[in-house]
């Protein structure tokens, strides 16, 4: 069955259930929960850097589609926010087609080279330290974002591919002002910011490091964009660019096995979408190897937990939110991986009976949760995946009402710290479990294998109403915390009835294992005391902070939001 037809059937089933959901309760945000009958149309762009937003808006002003604008946004983000994403990385893209109502997900996750083995990150019989693995050539997989955007553009583009890189090429050639956040990353004294590639790129002619406000040029990146514009995605996967990537990966320390042939063999995957109801809405995410199924499971458990509906000023709601996360993460870590290599019990994790059973455990949790046994689930080995910072999210809606919600990454900050053809290479393979088996020999769902895509927490979201009309989109970076960040924003907007900006700006609470990581300074003393009475002691969040961007269609306009923790903006003109 074609992916799009399958998507339509899943969506139709979800809509029937959504029509029976209870209405949202009023929160403290004052925003209307009633979706206007007028179709939701753009232009609208929200992204993590104003220069990237402007590049997308320029394309939309020329009559471009949401996918056209996404190509331009990514091209600029890879230049001005290279710590988070770029041409050398991967992405998941969710697309809404206003004319047909269909939702499609595009998987541009990187793949392990043909020579990869489950012991990829072993040395002398033991796993490498995480930092050593990241900085090695072994950490880089075949980049997927360019091929994925090429596939999406072939199906949904309106403007010529060749005209989508002009702004990125101009900024690379003429220079752009280094932002404060990028300057802070450049100033790091170790890690990927201090490799010989990064030192060459980030050192000014006078010998100092680039600082905020300095003009930074990247002629190599400008050349790459010109070649991409002229030759299409094939220019990336065949010829100079692929050869340069493979050559850099093969350099010491710890050379990797990724070859130009591995890069040429990369193929993006159109997987269809995974959609389920929440309240009177339908939330759609990519299927595995994205962890979108875990986000849907968390929302389903939330709907079965009355305490969570209390609103952002209710300590019981935050407590329930944290406890449900513990259950969700335990299941995600145990079962989710590349469906081409392991059986992921997607339907079992979302089974109503199983969801209700798991949600009932939340109130009694006194520490880390154990994974459950969903229908159809094969109990996999314990997971040893470390998913660090280095990701971005953006949302685009065009004049026809088509939408893109895309999460994009090079994995860690500046990826592996290695550069080729003007951009940083990903360290995406460190998203695999370093330990492939448990003591009794059982395999981890996210173990390394040749050609395999590592599990990802990236979960770009499209939101529909009961009639299948677009009403919103959002997503975030954040490593494993992406699921908590996305869920917070979704509950804030759809359940607590906040504006998108207010929902995004809420404090973050991330509950994995025994601890509760949080934006501790953003929770007031009364809330901290109330949470402590309920057994929740907040510690500073140790994962990448959120970078939520999104919009909800209310009262005939886009109510957009950009995370105040980053440098992005949301614009509808």
**Pairing outcome for strands 538-540 and 515-518:** parallel
**Pairing outcome for strands 509-512 and 515-518:** antiparallel
Q: Where are the alpha helices (DSSP H) in 179-239?
A: 180-186, 196-202, 219-231, 234-237
Q: Is 516 helix (H, G, I), strand (E, B) or coil?
A: strand
Which of 391, 407, 408, 480 is catalytic? The answer is 391
Q: Is the backbone of residue 101 left (phi > 0), alpha (psi -120 to 50) or beta?
A: left
Tokens representing 362 are 């939340």
Contact residues for 14 (Cβ-Cβ < 8 A; gap 6+): 275, 276, 277, 282
Tokens representing 391 are 């990701």
In angstroms, rounded to a whole number, what is the distance separating the alpha carbons of residues 436 and 381?
A: 8
Start-to-end CA distance of the chain, whole Å, equals: 40
Tokens representing 130 are 């995480």
The answer to whether 203 is a known catalytic residue is no
In angstroms, rounded to a whole number, what is the distance separating the alpha carbons of residues 428 and 425?
A: 9
DSSP 8-state code for residue 543: S
Tokens representing 180 are 């404060």
Contact residues for 42 (Cβ-Cβ < 8 A; gap 6+): 60, 66, 396, 397, 398, 399, 401, 403, 558, 572
In angstroms, rounded to a whole number, what is the distance separating the alpha carbons of residues 461 and 481?
A: 15
1-7 long-range contacts (CB < 8 A, ≥24 apart) are 3/104, 3/270, 3/271, 3/272, 4/100, 4/102, 4/104, 4/272, 6/272, 7/102, 7/103, 7/104, 7/272, 7/273, 7/275
Q: Which of 485, 481, 490 is nearest to 548 (CA)?
A: 485
Task: Tell me the catalytic residues.
Answer: 391
């Amino acid at each position: 069955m074609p992916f799009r037809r399958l998507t339509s059937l899943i969506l139709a089933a979800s809509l029937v259930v959504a029509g029976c959901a209870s209405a949202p309760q009023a929160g403290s945000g004052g925003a209307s929960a009633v979706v206007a009958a007028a179709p939701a149309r753009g232009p609208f762009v929200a992204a993590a850097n104003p220069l990237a937003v402007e590049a997308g808006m320029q394309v939309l002003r020329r009559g471009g589609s949401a996918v056209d604008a996404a190509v331009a946004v990514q091209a600029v983000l890879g230049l001005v926010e290279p710590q988070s994403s770029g041409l050398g990385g991967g992405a998941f893209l969710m697309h809404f087609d206003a004319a047909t109502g269909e939702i499609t997900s595009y998987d541009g996750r990187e793949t392990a080279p043909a020579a990869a083995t489950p012991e990829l990150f072993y040395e002398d019989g033991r796993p490498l330290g995480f930092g050593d693995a990241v900085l090695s050539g072994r950490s880089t997989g075949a980049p997927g974002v360019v091929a994925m955007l090429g596939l999406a553009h072939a199906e949904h583009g309106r403007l010529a591919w060749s005209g989508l890189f002009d702004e990125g090429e101009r900024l690379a050639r003429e220079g752009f002002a280094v932002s404060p956040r990028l300057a802070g990353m450049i100033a790091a004294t170790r890690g990927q910011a201090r490799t010989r590639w990064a030192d060459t790129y980030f050192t000014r002619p006078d010998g100092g490091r680039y600082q905020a406000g300095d003009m930074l040029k990247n002629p190599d990146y400008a050349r790459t964009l010109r070649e991409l514009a002229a030759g299409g995605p094939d220019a990336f996967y065949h010829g100079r660019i692929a050869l340069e990537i493979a050559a850099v990966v093969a350099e010491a320390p710890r050379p990797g096995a990724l070859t130009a042939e591995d890069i040429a063999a990369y193929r993006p995957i159109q997987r269809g979408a995974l959609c389920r109801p929440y309240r009177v809405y339908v939330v759609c995410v990519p299927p595995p190897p994205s962890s979108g199924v875990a986000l849907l499971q968390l929302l389903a458990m939330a709907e079965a937990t009355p305490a969570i509906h209390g609103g952002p000023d209710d300590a019981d709601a935050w407590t329930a939110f944290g406890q449900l996360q513990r259950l969700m993460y335990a299941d995600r870590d145990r079962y989710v991986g590349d469906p081409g290599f392991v059986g992921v019990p997607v339907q079992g994790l979302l089974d109503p009976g199983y969801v209700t059973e798991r949600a009932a455990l939340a109130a009694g949790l006194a520490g880390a949760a154990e994974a459950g046994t969903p229908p159809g689930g094969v109990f996999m080995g314990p997971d040893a995946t470390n998913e660090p910072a280095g990701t971005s999210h953006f949302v685009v809606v065009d004049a026809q009402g088509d939408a893109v919600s895309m999460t994009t990454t090079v994995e860690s900050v500046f990826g592996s710290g290695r550069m080729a053809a003007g951009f940083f290479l990903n360290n995406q393979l460190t998203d695999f479990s370093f330990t492939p088996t448990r003591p009794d020999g059982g395999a981890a769902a996210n173990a390394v294998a040749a050609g395999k895509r590592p599990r990802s927490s990236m979960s770009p979201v499209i939101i529909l109403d009961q009639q299948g009309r677009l009403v919103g989109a959002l997503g975030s970076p954040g490593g494993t915390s992406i699921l908590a960040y996305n869920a917070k924003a979704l509950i804030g907007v759809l359940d607590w009835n906040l504006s998108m900006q207010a929902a995004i700006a809420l404090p973050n609470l991330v509950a994995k294992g025994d601890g509760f990581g949080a934006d501790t300074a953003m929770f007031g003393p009364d809330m901290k005391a109330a949470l402590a009475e309920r057994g929740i002691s907040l510690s500073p969040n140790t994962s990448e902070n959120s970078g939520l961007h999104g919009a909800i269609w209310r009262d005939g306009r886009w109510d957009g939001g950009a995370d105040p923790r980053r440098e992005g903006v949301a614009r509808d003109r």
